[in-house]
Amino acid sequence: MYPILARYGSIFIYSYTVVMAMGIIGGIGLINWSTRRIGLPDWVDALLVLLLAAVIGGRAGFLFSHWAYFQQQPQEAWQFWQGGLSYQTALLAGLLALAGWTFVKKRSFHRYASAFAPAFILVAIFGWAACWFEGCAYGRETIISMLSADLPDEYGVFSVRYQTQSAGVLLLSAVFLFILWHQKHQPYRYVFWMALAAVSLSHLLISLMRGDPVAAVGQVRLDTLFNAVLAAVSLLLLQYERRKSRDKLEIS
């Protein structure tokens, strides 16, 4: 809706960049605050590895999904500050990088992942807010209701659409508060899988209302399938960790 916040001569300040930067800065501040309580060594190194992998992976996924456009406009391929990161590939790349770093450093993946979980959700909230400004991840056309509004797509075409960006902000804000509470009351081996399951289920619901073009398997959007699989895997791993903890208590 407001893709450009300001312009100074030939320099444009993009709303997507500003909002995402605010989310990342807020997430880093949140991690810094939480790690002071639990004492997490070298968390800055782990976070830098995760962020670098997420940006590269997210941009690669976006380029792949819009390959026809970028073949015509190759000079825009690396201009990610204008918007354009794939959540799915950013998440997978970031998790793989963190898993690799913890493996090399002989650290606990769950401990670092659970410490980063609230910040990950906070960045996702700001991501949906950034899409509200940019017009990305827009809703499909529908009838007038409490869930819809007169909104544009990424090309500026207005229509009555589902408010996907607002739904993303609201749902993930609730998940954020839920995980913050559980981070203080649940073992760290549970927290990350709880967060990933909750975020995936939220994105699954929102994907049913989205109207932006995306690859599909039959009539089902690929992001819908991705979030469904991720939610199922997260819940299974959460149950596995709970059962493993119960078995240890019984043995002891």
- pLDDT tens string 90-139: 899 999 999 999 999 999 999 999 999 999 999 999 999 988 888 888 99
Q: What is the pTM of this model?
A: 0.85
What's the whole-number mean pLDDT along residues 37-60? 88
User: How confident is the model at residue 252, as a pLDDT?
Assistant: 53
User: How confident is the model at residue 154, as a pLDDT?
Assistant: 78
Contact of 198 with 178, CB cutoff 8 Å: yes
Contact of 172 with 247, CB cutoff 8 Å: no
* Phi, psi (rounded to 5 degrees) for 161: -130, 160
Q: What angle do CA 104, 192, 88 make, to 5 degrees?
A: 80
Contact of 168 with 212, CB cutoff 8 Å: no
Q: What is the β-pairing status of strands 220-221 and 216-217?
A: antiparallel
User: How confident is the model at residue 128, as a pLDDT?
Assistant: 92
Query: Would you say residue 65 has pLDDT above 80?
Result: no
pLDDT tens, residue by residue, 72-94: 766 666 666 555 677 888 899 99
Share of residues in the chain with pLDDT > 70 (%)? 88
User: How confident is the model at residue 140, as a pLDDT?
Assistant: 93
User: How confident is the model at residue 134, as a pLDDT?
Assistant: 83
Contact of 162 with 148, CB cutoff 8 Å: yes
Query: Would you say residue 204 has pLDDT above 90?
Result: yes
**Minimal CA–CA distance to 23: which of 147, 106, 133?**
133
Share of residues in the chain with pLDDT > 90 (%)? 51
User: How confident is the model at residue 102, as a pLDDT?
Assistant: 96
72 alpha carbon, distance to own chain's centre: 28
Domain count, the chain: 1
> Rounded CA gap, 222 and 68, in Å?
18
* Domain of residue 208, residue span: 4-251
**Minimal CA–CA distance to 195: which of 176, 214, 173?**
176
> Rounded CA gap, 47 and 53, in Å?
10
Please provide the average confidence, as pLDDT, over all residues in the chain: 87
Query: Would you say residue 235 has pLDDT above 70?
Result: yes
